[in-house]
Copies of this chain bind each other. A is one copy, B any other.
Amino acid sequence: MDGMEEQVELVGKAFVEHYYHLFDTNRQSLSSLYQPSSMLTFEGQNIQGVQDIAGKLTQLPFDQCQHVISTIDSQPSSFPGGIIVFVSGNLQLPGEEHQLRFSQMFHLIPTIQGSFYVQNDIFRLNYG
Protein backbone atom coordinates (compact mmCIF):
# COMPACT_ATOMS: atom_id res chain seq x y z
CA MET A 1 0.00 0.00 0.00
CA ASP A 2 1.56 3.31 -1.05
CA GLY A 3 1.10 6.68 0.67
CA MET A 4 -1.64 7.92 -1.66
CA GLU A 5 -3.65 4.74 -1.30
CA GLU A 6 -3.24 4.85 2.47
CA GLN A 7 -4.43 8.45 2.66
CA VAL A 8 -7.50 7.68 0.55
CA GLU A 9 -8.35 4.81 2.90
CA LEU A 10 -7.90 6.99 5.97
CA VAL A 11 -10.16 9.71 4.57
CA GLY A 12 -12.77 7.13 3.60
CA LYS A 13 -12.80 5.58 7.06
CA ALA A 14 -12.90 8.93 8.84
CA PHE A 15 -15.77 10.08 6.63
CA VAL A 16 -17.77 6.90 7.18
CA GLU A 17 -17.31 7.11 10.95
CA HIS A 18 -18.38 10.77 10.91
CA TYR A 19 -21.33 10.25 8.57
CA TYR A 20 -22.99 7.38 10.42
CA HIS A 21 -22.28 8.93 13.81
CA LEU A 22 -24.22 12.01 12.69
CA PHE A 23 -26.90 9.82 11.13
CA ASP A 24 -27.44 7.89 14.36
CA THR A 25 -27.16 10.79 16.82
CA ASN A 26 -28.09 14.05 15.07
CA ARG A 27 -29.52 13.24 11.67
CA GLN A 28 -30.47 16.79 10.69
CA SER A 29 -26.83 17.84 10.88
CA LEU A 30 -26.07 15.58 7.89
CA SER A 31 -27.15 18.52 5.73
CA SER A 32 -23.70 20.05 6.41
CA LEU A 33 -22.15 17.27 4.29
CA TYR A 34 -24.14 18.02 1.12
CA GLN A 35 -24.16 20.91 -1.39
CA PRO A 36 -26.74 22.20 -3.89
CA SER A 37 -25.33 19.93 -6.62
CA SER A 38 -25.43 16.82 -4.43
CA MET A 39 -27.44 13.79 -5.53
CA LEU A 40 -28.94 11.05 -3.39
CA THR A 41 -30.57 7.91 -4.74
CA PHE A 42 -32.32 6.27 -1.80
CA GLU A 43 -33.87 2.89 -2.54
CA GLY A 44 -34.27 3.99 -6.16
CA GLN A 45 -35.67 7.46 -5.45
CA ASN A 46 -33.63 10.33 -6.94
CA ILE A 47 -33.25 13.43 -4.77
CA GLN A 48 -31.09 16.50 -5.40
CA GLY A 49 -29.87 19.41 -3.31
CA VAL A 50 -29.17 19.99 0.38
CA GLN A 51 -32.72 20.76 1.43
CA ASP A 52 -34.43 17.84 -0.30
CA ILE A 53 -31.74 15.37 0.75
CA ALA A 54 -31.88 16.53 4.38
CA GLY A 55 -35.67 16.37 4.18
CA LYS A 56 -35.57 12.78 2.95
CA LEU A 57 -33.07 11.64 5.57
CA THR A 58 -34.88 13.27 8.48
CA GLN A 59 -38.29 11.99 7.37
CA LEU A 60 -37.44 8.31 7.09
CA PRO A 61 -40.05 6.13 8.82
CA PHE A 62 -37.85 5.58 11.89
CA ASP A 63 -36.55 8.12 14.37
CA GLN A 64 -33.71 6.15 15.84
CA CYS A 65 -31.32 3.71 14.25
CA GLN A 66 -27.84 2.35 14.58
CA HIS A 67 -25.50 1.61 11.68
CA VAL A 68 -22.95 -1.16 12.20
CA ILE A 69 -20.29 -1.03 9.49
CA SER A 70 -18.94 -4.26 7.99
CA THR A 71 -16.65 -3.08 5.17
CA ILE A 72 -15.27 0.21 3.80
CA ASP A 73 -13.57 0.32 0.39
CA SER A 74 -12.12 3.60 -0.89
CA GLN A 75 -10.57 4.62 -4.20
CA PRO A 76 -9.38 7.94 -5.63
CA SER A 77 -11.85 9.16 -8.27
CA SER A 78 -11.15 10.84 -11.61
CA PHE A 79 -12.20 14.18 -10.13
CA PRO A 80 -9.05 15.82 -8.70
CA GLY A 81 -8.89 15.04 -5.00
CA GLY A 82 -12.18 13.15 -5.14
CA ILE A 83 -12.69 9.86 -3.30
CA ILE A 84 -15.19 7.08 -3.87
CA VAL A 85 -16.25 5.25 -0.72
CA PHE A 86 -18.23 2.01 -0.76
CA VAL A 87 -19.78 0.79 2.49
CA SER A 88 -21.58 -2.36 3.58
CA GLY A 89 -23.12 -2.91 6.94
CA ASN A 90 -26.18 -3.53 9.07
CA LEU A 91 -28.92 -1.18 10.11
CA GLN A 92 -30.54 -1.79 13.49
CA LEU A 93 -33.98 -0.27 13.92
CA PRO A 94 -35.65 0.10 17.32
CA GLY A 95 -37.83 -2.83 18.27
CA GLU A 96 -36.72 -4.92 15.29
CA GLU A 97 -35.19 -8.28 16.08
CA HIS A 98 -33.29 -8.61 12.83
CA GLN A 99 -30.83 -6.11 11.40
CA LEU A 100 -31.19 -4.97 7.81
CA ARG A 101 -28.20 -5.34 5.48
CA PHE A 102 -27.35 -2.26 3.44
CA SER A 103 -24.82 -1.05 0.89
CA GLN A 104 -24.05 2.60 0.20
CA MET A 105 -21.60 4.52 -1.92
CA PHE A 106 -20.40 8.11 -1.61
CA HIS A 107 -18.46 10.24 -4.06
CA LEU A 108 -16.59 12.79 -1.93
CA ILE A 109 -15.37 16.04 -3.51
CA PRO A 110 -12.86 18.31 -1.74
CA THR A 111 -14.06 21.73 -0.63
CA ILE A 112 -11.93 24.87 -0.74
CA GLN A 113 -11.93 24.74 3.07
CA GLY A 114 -9.98 21.48 2.93
CA SER A 115 -12.77 19.10 3.88
CA PHE A 116 -15.13 17.08 1.66
CA TYR A 117 -18.75 17.17 0.63
CA VAL A 118 -20.91 14.36 -0.75
CA GLN A 119 -21.58 14.81 -4.47
CA ASN A 120 -23.04 11.34 -5.10
CA ASP A 121 -24.79 9.14 -2.55
CA ILE A 122 -26.52 5.86 -3.43
CA PHE A 123 -28.18 3.74 -0.74
CA ARG A 124 -29.75 0.30 -1.02
CA LEU A 125 -31.06 -2.20 1.46
CA ASN A 126 -29.95 -5.74 0.58
CA TYR A 127 -32.90 -8.04 0.83
CA GLY A 128 -31.88 -11.63 1.46
Mask, A49-65, CB within 8 Å of B = 1, is 00000000000000000
A78 touches B (CB below 8 Å): yes
Contact residues of A: prevailing secondary structure: strand
Q: Which residues 68-88 in A have Cβ within 8 Å of B in the complex?
A: 70-71, 73, 75-79, 82, 84, 86, 88
State the interface size on chain A (CB cutoff 8 A).
30
Known A41-B75, A78-B109, A79-B77; judge A103-B84 contact (CB<8 A): no
By a beta-carbon cutoff of 8 Å, the part of chain A in contact with chain B is 1, 5, 39, 41, 44, 46, 70-71, 73, 75-79, 82, 84, 86, 88, 101, 103, 105, 107, 109, 119-120, 122, 124, 126-128
With A77-B107, A107-B77, A119-B78 in contact, do A126 and B5 touch (Cβ < 8 Å)?
no
How far does the alpha carbon of A126 sit from the alpha carbon of B71 in the complex, in Å?
10
| Complex contacts, A73 vs chain B, CB 8 Å | 41, 44, 122, 124
Closest CB of chain B to A13's CB: distance in Å? 13
Tell whether, in the assembled complex, residue B109 and residue A75 are in contact, meaning their CB atoms are under 8 Å apart: no
List, sorted by A's number, 13 A–B pairs whose CB atoms are closer than 8 Å.
A41-B86, A77-B107, A77-B119, A78-B107, A84-B107, A101-B126, A103-B103, A103-B124, A103-B126, A105-B105, A107-B107, A126-B126, A128-B128
